[in-house]
């Protein structure tokens, strides 16, 4: 797993706590979704497949190497491991990736429609509109490559017909993006439902605030 002197790392405790917050925030149900965190030494901690978050313990988490081989853990890693590994391999400034099934964001994913960055904080924290990936099969390396390519200048992307992916320096920051994107999707949906027309931010604001996102991401 490529690392630089400034690559952020996390702990299994942070991964587990964030996974449970993800459930409490209503971003997933049951055992859906997954979280990864970069560990020191080129390792990655992942949530397991088919284990409920409210009963999940540190012992359930799985640690992989950069190729996806299991280093520790008695459970199977999430089936979306390629999605996480692809993003963390490509971007050493990232420390965590989260995949959720947030309802409003997933509505946009089903429509293959980007969530517009009509609120300033979305540009600052996400980098701009949240694009929708081309459809790729769940759990495939092709999906991992598609997602990683879209995360080059964004902190969040939609999985076509599936859900939402966010990334950040820490699991907590990736979770913040997930809640922000879901809130924005709900606001956009509600504005349209009330018959309102979505008004874009001025281009200057988009440009300047996207620069803030890039600087923060490159200096974790």
- Angstrom distance (rounded) from CA 146 to CA 10: 25
Query: Given CA atoms 177, 180, 186, 190 in this order, what sign does their dihedral have?
Result: negative
Query: Could you tell me the two tokens for 217?
Result: 């991401």
Beta bridge partners of 214: none
80 is catalytic: yes
Dig out the tokens for 199 from the structure: 């008004």
CB-count exposure of residue 92 (10 Å: 0-12, 13-18, 19+): middle
User: SS3 letters for 53-122?
Assistant: CCCCCHHHCEEECCCCCEEECCCCECCCHHHHHHHHHHCCCCCEEEEECCHHHHHHHHCCCCECCCCHHH
> Apex CA 173: angle with CA 149 and CA 171, to 5°?
85
Q: Which helix (H) or strand (E) holds 176?
A: helix 171-193
Choice among 3, 13, 14, 80 that is catalytic: 80
Cα separation of 213 and 167, whole Å?
12
Active site residues: 80
């Amino acid at each position: 797993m490529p690392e630089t002197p400034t690559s952020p790392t996390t702990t299994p405790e942070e991964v587990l706590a964030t996974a449970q917050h993800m459930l409490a925030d209503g971003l997933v149900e049951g055992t859906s979704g997954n979280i990864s965190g970069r560990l020191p030494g080129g390792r990655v901690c992942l949530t397991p497949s088919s284990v409920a978050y409210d009963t999940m313990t540190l012992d359930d988490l799985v640690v992989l190497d950069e190729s996806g081989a299991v280093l520790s853990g008695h459970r199977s890693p999430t089936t979306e491991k390629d999605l996480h590994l692809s993003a963390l391999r490509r971007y050493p400034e990232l420390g965590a990736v989260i995949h959720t099934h947030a309802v409003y964001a997933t509505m946009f994913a089903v429509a293959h429609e980007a969530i517009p960055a009509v609120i300033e904080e979305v540009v600052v924290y996400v980098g701009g509109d949240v694009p929708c990936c081309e459809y790729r099969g769940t759990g495939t390396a092709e999906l991992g490559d598609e997602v990683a390519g879209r995360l080059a200048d964004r902190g969040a992307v939609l999985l076509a017909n599936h859900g939402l992916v966010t990334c950040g320096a820490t699991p907590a920051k990736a979770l913040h993006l997930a809640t922000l994107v879901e809130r924005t999707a709900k606001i956009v949906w509600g504005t349209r439902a009330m018959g309102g027309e979505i008004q874009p931010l001025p281009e200057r604001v988009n440009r300047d605030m996207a620069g803030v996102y890039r600087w923060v991401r490159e200096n974790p």
